[in-house]
């Protein structure tokens, strides 16, 4: 399932298809900006001495898109950026393929670079996208990001994806009902809009 939201200043994409880095870079590039910073997260072929053959991503897509919008809002509150593109793969991602692309433009390079760094860290900490590593020996392991806020240190290597998602949703709802940084930013959010 793909989900895309493209507005004048933000382009958010969650898709099982290959990510087009040129599309992200072109979207944020403007004659009024002097900097474009791009982060590309790729699948590496190893983890802690084990050979990785692919990654598999799953997401709670509607909530993931909502949280990506919040990342964009927070970036805009912190830095004077021009445009933001955040693309993330879902499904199977082969070694060397891009899993995530973040492109941000601004008048000066420091703002764009800091905004990209903040965006990837915040995405990994707050957006409900889960990653499973598939190893050469056939074993699979759900991974948590060190920044991840809702898994509370749990790895889901022995549980099913439904167990991981259920635990993640419960913790996610509990966390976001208590963390002021992630409370609704707009009045319509509190009115079910």
pLDDT of residue 191: 44
Distance between CA atoms of residues 142 and 128, nearest Å: 13
What are the pLDDT digits (tens) for 16-68? 999 999 999 999 999 999 999 999 999 999 999 999 999 999 999 999 999 99
What are the pLDDT digits (tens) for 67-82? 999 999 999 999 999 9
Distance between CA atoms of residues 24 and 15, nearest Å: 14
The pair of three-digit structure tokens given for residue 157, joined into one six-digit string = 């290597």
Name 12's bridge partners: 5, 86
- Burial string for 137-165 (b: 16+ CB within 10 Å, else e) reads eeeebbbbeeebebbeeeebeeeeeeebb
H-type alpha helices, the chain:
21-28, 61-78, 109-126, 161-176, 187-190
pLDDT of residue 173: 55
**Band of the pLDDT at 2, cuts 50, 70, 90?**
confident
Q: What is the DSSP letter of 139?
A: -
Name 102's bridge partners: 39, 86
**Band of the pLDDT at 3, cuts 50, 70, 90?**
confident
Look at strands 81-89 and 91-94 and give their pairing.
unpaired
Is the distance from CB of 56 to CB of 93 less than 8 angstroms? yes
The pair of three-digit structure tokens given for residue 6, joined into one six-digit string = 């493209």
What are the pLDDT digits (tens) for 140-190? 999 876 655 545 443 444 444 545 555 555 555 555 544 444 444 444 444
pLDDT of residue 167: 54
Distance between CA atoms of residues 160 and 108, nearest Å: 46
The pair of three-digit structure tokens given for residue 117, joined into one six-digit string = 């760094």
- pLDDT: is 186 or 1 the higher one? 1
Distance between CA atoms of residues 160 and 186, nearest Å: 36
Q: What is the DSSP letter of 7?
A: -
- pLDDT: is 158 or 96 the higher one? 96
The model carries a pTM of 0.78
Q: What is the DSSP letter of 151?
A: S
């Amino acid at each position: 399932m793909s989900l895309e939201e493209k507005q004048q200043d933000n382009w958010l994409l969650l898709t099982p298809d290959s990510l087009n880095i040129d599309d992200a870079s072109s979207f944020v590039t403007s004659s009024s900006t002097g900097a474009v910073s791009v982060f590309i997260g790729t699948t590496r072929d190893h983890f802690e001495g084990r050979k990785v053959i692919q990654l598999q991503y799953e997401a709670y897509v509607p909530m993931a898109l909502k949280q990506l919008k919040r990342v964009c809002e927070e970036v805009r509150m912190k830095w004077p950026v021009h445009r933001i593109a955040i693309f993330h793969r879902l499904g199977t991602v082969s070694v060397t393929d891009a899993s995530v692309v973040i492109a941000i433009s601004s008048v000066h390079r420091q703002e764009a670079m800091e905004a990209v760094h903040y965006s990837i860290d915040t995405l990994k900490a707050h957006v409900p996208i889960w990653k499973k590593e598939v190893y050469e020996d056939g074993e699979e392991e759900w991974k948590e990001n060190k920044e991840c806020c809702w898994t509370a240190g749990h790895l889901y290597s022995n549980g099913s994806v439904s167990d991981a998602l259920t635990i993640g949703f419960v913790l996610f709802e509990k966390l976001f009902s208590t963390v002021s940084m992630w409370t609704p930013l707009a009045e319509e959010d509190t009115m079910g809009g």
